[in-house]
Structure 1
Amino acid sequence: MPTSTTVLPIHSSLPKASQIAFGCMGLGGSWDNSPIDNGLINHAEAAVHSAVENGINFFDHADIYTMGKAELCFGEVLKRQPQLRSNIYIQSKCGIRFEDATAPGRYDFSAQWLETSVDGILQRLGIEYLDVLALHRPDPLMELDELATTLRALKAAGKYNHLGVSNMNAHQIQYLQSALDMPLIVNQVELSLVRREHFEFGVAPCIDPQIDASFAGTLQHCQTKGIQLQSWGSLAQGLYCGRGDNSEHANIRETSQLVATLAGEYQVTKEAIVLAWLLRHSANIQAIIGTANPDRIKACAQATQVKLSREHWYQLLVSARGQALP
């Protein structure tokens, strides 16, 4: 199935990355240290097969996903299908540390932790390099020069091709980029019909008083600098694809009904309409889906067949807001 593409990659023999990306957090089973088995590997293989069959060639990992088991399962899939590696992009993120006996959950961009993390990622996946290495969440104790030196060394060692970040605002990206001699090409942030603040900053008052205004301008900064925006939480856990049909909140019920109506009009799935809302934006957002269900992966892939009209895009925005634009 043909699929729309992103601005990625920079300098690669591969075709451009698909605009729908497969988020691998759903692989590996439970979030504990239990071993993987053939059942989990078969589950991962079915999900990966469905993604590739439906035009998805970009796979997003993180070293923390199911305690590293997501990468282990994916690595086993690559062992079964070694030809797959040369036809896909693999991205992984690091920098988050779980609570342990000595410290709480925290973020860590120290040289020792990053080096250990990247080596662990490559070992679990059974690959020599990542297409994209991303820093998962900002570390307030980041030593900029140390981080830049570490990233240069990892790049020189051939452990990744391109560098990105996740959950960073424009100011944090600019600060990090100031010490690097390579471009940051990805920023992965939460974007969906529920998390609309990146679209609403400077356009309409944010309804949620807890919205972090420090992210104002991040979308525009990424567009200006050619940084690929990736959206995590793209489907808002299925809120408008059935889960919210009986919600106590009228705007959620009404938005779910609107999504269903538009799915009928465009002759696609409800998942496709929710994702198409993101893809319609001029930022050329790469939407990451988190489902590992082969049928739902196929349903999501239909989003690339849809270009919402301006009127329908705004209908969804206003409905999800629960009030008219000012």
Structure 2
Amino acid sequence: MANQVQLSITHCPMIASGIAADMAGLDQSLDRDNGLLDYARLRRTTVQAWSPFQKGFFDGVFIGDRDNYRELNAVLDEWAAKYEVTPTGIAVAWITRHPANMQVVLGTTNPGRVAESAAGSELPLTREEWYRLFRAAGHTLP
């Protein structure tokens, strides 16, 4: 019924590999999960994203990390102002906007973080906004 995977804007190999599938030689094009996202969508299995604010595999959060993610944080701030939410809300919106109808597992009991995240869960990011965040996180589009 559900499969929990680590997933964030900056750590999304299950999404990035599908986007760059025909871009041989690009690390992003490597399929590291054997089509997990496609399988989940075909079987109507809900993908639950844990560590939605992590840079990578337990490398800390990308929100506010302007040394390593200057462009991404600038775009997060831009969309946060536009939609009147926090950058955390935009990071959640990026996940929930995906057509696989993913859910976000916050792993927090902080009421403020829960409220910020919930505010972003229903935002109608456009495709252009979604892909701009994807590129700002360092991913490549064909």
Task: Tell me which interval the TM-score lies in, with the shorter structure as reference length.
Answer: 0.7 to 0.9
Supply the distance in 1 between the matched residues of 2:82 and 2:27 (Cα, whole angstroms).
Answer: 30
| Aligned partner (choices 9, 17, 22) of residue 193 of structure 1 | 9
Secondary structure of the structure 1 residue equivalent to 2:61:
helix
Structure 1 stretches of 4+ moved >2 Å: 205-209
| Aligned partner (choices 88, 99, 123) of residue 282 of structure 1 | 99
2:13–2:32 CA contact under 8 A, matched in 1: no
Query: Residue 306 of structure 1 corresponds to which residue in structure 2?
Result: 123
Larger radius of gyration: 1
RMSD after superposition: 1.9
Supply the distance in 2 between the matched residues of 1:274 and 1:307 (Cα, whole angstroms).
Answer: 13
Q: Could you say if the C-alpha distance between residues 256 and 313 of structure 1 is closer, same or farther in structure 2, counting changes exceeding 3 Å?
A: same
| Aligned partner (choices 239, 252, 266) of residue 83 of structure 2 | 266
Q: Please identify which structure carries the higher strand content.
A: 1
Supply the distance in 2 between the matched residues of 1:316 and 1:214 (Cα, whole angstroms).
Answer: 22
Percent identical residues: 31
1:215 counterpart = 2:33: yes
Supply the distance in 2 between the matched residues of 1:299 and 1:260 (Cα, whole angstroms).
Answer: 14
1:275–1:287 CA contact under 8 A, matched in 2: yes
Task: Give the gaps of 5 or more residues in structure 2.
Answer: 55-59
Alignment of 1:70-219 (within 5 A): 185-204=1-20, 205=23, 207=27, 213-219=31-37
Supply the distance in 1 between the matched residues of 2:34 and 2:16 (Cα, whole angstroms).
Answer: 9
TM-score where L is the length of structure 1: 0.38
Supply the distance in 2 between the matched residues of 1:214 and 1:271 (Cα, whole angstroms).
Answer: 27
Amino acid at match of 1:308: L
Supply the distance in 1 between the matched residues of 2:112 and 2:72 (Cα, whole angstroms).
Answer: 23
Query: Residue 238 of structure 1 corresponds to which residue in structure 2?
Result: 61
1:267-304: CA deviation from partner (whole Å, max 9, x where unpaired): 11111100100001111001111232221211111012
Amino acid at match of 1:310: R
Amino acid at match of 1:235: F
Structure with the larger RCO, 1 or 2 (CA within 8 Å, 6+ apart): 2
Amino acid at match of 1:234: P
